[in-house]
Structures are given as structure tokens and as C-alpha cells.
Amino acid sequence: MRADLPNRPSVKVQASSVTATGYATTLSGPEFSISTVEHCLSALSALRVDNLFIELDGPEIPICDGSAFDFLKAIQAVGLIEQEQPRKYCYITQPLYFSEGDKQAYVLPYHGLRLSVTIDFPHPKIGREKIDLDINEVSFAREIAPARTFGFLKDIEELKKRGLALGGSLENAIGLDDQEILNPEGLRFPDEFVRHKALDALGDLVTLSMPMMGHLTLYKAGHDVMNKLVRKIMDTPDCYKLIELGAEVSDEARFRSGI
């Protein structure tokens, strides 16, 4: 919700509202937009918060320190209210695959939410990294939430020429030149880069408009591929079924998914 605009217009977090995926995910209404939504949404995904309004006084969700940790702490400090309405899940029943060039994404049936992400950057400080993790509140807080976004100096300079990323700094991102990491404090994890890509993917998955139960696997896939995968899931009803918590989810599924 844009509280800074007349009539306080709002937009739903759904795949059809995604209008840009370059460097961040942007949602748009008829005459306004909200950018960099993925970090906040990833925290909501891990905490399974699916009924709330987010009120903003500008066109971008604050970057904070470039991770999802501040959002996670703020939500936990306020606390959550469990509602009586059963939560509906998108329960993956058949494999679904999407590729674009060398970028790949697919989902498989799984009793819970599992994420496997691989990145491969031709940079001496990144290279090929992989993470495989069952996602729940505990694993997200420990393994994913603190991972910061990252950017290459040449890309940041070009963005600033276009009037974008004006607030970008080493206080809210990992910066890299052609050879080195520029942040004097270094990394929070040896593989912080792929952990942040996992964070982004969880945020983009919220545009499915309901929590997913399945195994999401990504290879060199960013916001653009995630948006196309989510749209493909929605357009392929044979690959999933809608279930309600307590109706068809086994005790094992509840345990493994952390719900």
C-alpha cells in the first residue's frame, strides 16, 4: 500500500503484478510501483505470514543492510496472530521444469519446502556455490536471513548513471570489483552469495499467492526466471493441488516443513 499517494492505492503480491525483474522484483498497480520487495517477502515466506498489509511512504521497500534480517527481527518482535481460517497450500504433485538459456528452474513433489540453489559467476571470489536446505523459521533465521545482496562495481556505476541504486553502498550490499570483495568486514558466510540468491528466491515465491510445498531447484536463476516459473506453475494446474493445513498434510510433512 502506497500511503504517500492519493487514495492510498495498493497492489496484491502476485505474479501478474510483477512488472520488472532487473536487479530486483518490482510490483506495479495502474499508476504506481513498489520495488525491491523480495527481501521483506522472504521473511514473510519463512514465517508463513500470509495475511497482512505492508504500508509504504515511497516507491521502494527499505534496503536495510541488504539482507532480510531486519525484517525478520521486526516481525518476530511484534509477534504473530494465528487465525482460524485454514491456510491453503500449493502442494506440488508433478515435476515442472522451466529453462531459459543456461538458466534452469524446476519444482518436485516434497513434504515441506526445500530449496536447492546453485550459482556460477566468473569472479574469483564467487565461482560456483550451492546450498540445499529445508526451509523453516529456524533454518531461515540461521542460514538465509543475514545474507546480503551483492553487486559488481561496474554494474552499480551504470545503475547510478540511470538514477537507480542511489542509496547503494557497502553498508547495504557486498561490493565487488573485478578481483576482490570491497567490504572491509568481509563476508558473513563463506558462501554468502548463494545464500542471498536463496533469500531472493523465497521472496519471489510469495508471488504464487499461497505457500508452496515442494522442492524448488534453481541453477543460475534470478528474479526473471523465478517470475516465469511461478507463472508456469499457475498455468499448469495438473502439477499441483490445493490443500488445507490439517486436511491432507501428514504429521511428517508438518514436522519437516516446520509448520
Determine contact, residues 43/68, Cβ cutoff 8 Å: yes
Assigned CATH topology for domain 85-257: lpxc deacetylase, domain 1 (3.30.1700)
Catalytic hit among 39, 196, 215, 223: 223
Q: What is the pTM of this model?
A: 0.91
* pLDDT > 70: percent of the chain: 90
Taking only the tens place, the pLDDT of each residue in 35-57 is 999 999 999 999 989 899 999 99
Q: What is the separation of C-alpha 108 from the centre of its chain, rounded to a whole number of angstroms?
A: 18
pLDDT value, residue 154: 81
Determine contact, residues 216/115, Cβ cutoff 8 Å: yes
Determine contact, residues 61/39, Cβ cutoff 8 Å: yes
pLDDT over 90 at 73, yes or no: yes
Domain boundaries, the chain: 85-257
The DSSP element (H or E) to which 178 belongs, if any, is: none
Give the C-alpha distances (Å, rounded to integers) separating 229 from 208, 216, 222, 223.
Answer: 10, 10, 11, 10
Per the listing, cell 505492508 goes with 54
Least confident of 35-39, 55-59, 218-222, 255-259: 255-259
pLDDT band at 169 (very low <50, low <70, confident <90, very high): confident
Whether 111 sits among the annotated catalytic residues: the reply is: no
pLDDT value, residue 247: 41
Per the listing, cell 554494474 goes with 155
Amino acid sitting at position 75:
I
8/2 Cα distance (integer angstroms) = 5
Taking only the tens place, the pLDDT of each residue in 175-190 is 999 999 999 999 999 9
- Give me the chain's average pLDDT, please: 91
pLDDT over 90 at 146, yes or no: yes
225/207 Cα distance (integer angstroms) = 13
130/189 Cα distance (integer angstroms) = 13
pLDDT value, residue 168: 73
Taking only the tens place, the pLDDT of each residue in 102-145 is 999 999 999 999 999 999 999 999 999 999 999 999 999 999 99
Among the listed residues 125, 129, 107, the one whose alpha carbon sits nearest the alpha carbon of residue 176:
125
Strand bridging mode 212-219 / 113-121? parallel
pLDDT value, residue 50: 87
pLDDT over 90 at 258, yes or no: no
Name beta bridge partners: 88: 244
pLDDT value, residue 248: 41
